A and B are shown apart, each in its own frame.
Chain A
């Protein structure tokens, strides 16, 4: 089975699981008392942010490996991961304001966490604009790798921004020192959502990598 077909299978399974996640989150996961139903946006917003950051992490690591080893496969992987990360960061940036509006009373605020995640989105876009603008493959790969490494450097600042700055965005309640401060059923749904979105990332990247590889060979 080719990489493209395997990617399609994994994406198909992940989409079925996404349907299951929707049912579990909307029907079987309890409603939060203060925020009401809007809190359930959590189960798509947080895992999409996770996948976007995973994607940029992979772009950065593949970029470092490309610069060290000069292997074009790492460049193609970074390119694939950047495109997939753009899709997940778009989910993050659209679901976030839809949650913020009823809870904070505003769609957007220029606090550290939100501004840095917007920067992450622009880095994804910039990475792809750069790849489209530079025609020489060697230069394109090197310039793109530098942008990818910048994205990797940005990730810890995004995660730690809620500790470093005064921000409206809540602190992590799962990815933090100590036990997660979330009731069991909500935590199970959140962990399922992390699994589903990670699987989606894997399926998307496999497909996108295969497409990039075939375009390169053609």
Chain B
């Protein structure tokens, strides 16, 4: 038996995708900056 109305859980989905993107892009930037600063030395 399935519910007639799908529960409104879209907000959690958006939050999870945003958090994942922020962490992965943030770490990309960190590595880029660290790699850049080392290549200049």
Q: Which residues of A contact B (CB under 8 A)?
A: 4, 7-8, 11, 15, 18, 22, 26, 31, 33-38, 40-41, 44-45, 48, 84, 87, 90-91, 94-95, 98-99, 101-103, 200, 204, 207-208, 210-211, 214-215, 218
Q: CB < 8 Å: which of B2, B19, B24, B38 contacts A15?
A: B24
- Can you show 23 pairs from A to B with CB atoms below 8 A apart? A4-B35, A18-B21, A22-B21, A31-B6, A34-B2, A34-B3, A37-B12, A38-B9, A41-B16, A41-B17, A87-B23, A87-B24, A94-B20, A102-B9, A103-B9, A200-B24, A204-B27, A207-B31, A211-B34, A211-B38, A214-B38, A218-B38, A218-B41
Which chain A residues lie closer than 8 Å to B31 at the CB level? 7, 11, 204, 207-208, 211
Q: Please tell me the number of chain B residues within 8 Å of chain A, measured between CB atoms.
A: 27
Known: A11-B28, A36-B10. A215 touches B38 (CB 8 A): yes
Chain B residues with CB under 8 A of A38: 7, 9-10, 12-13
Q: Which B residues lie within 8 Å of A4 (CB)?
A: 35, 39
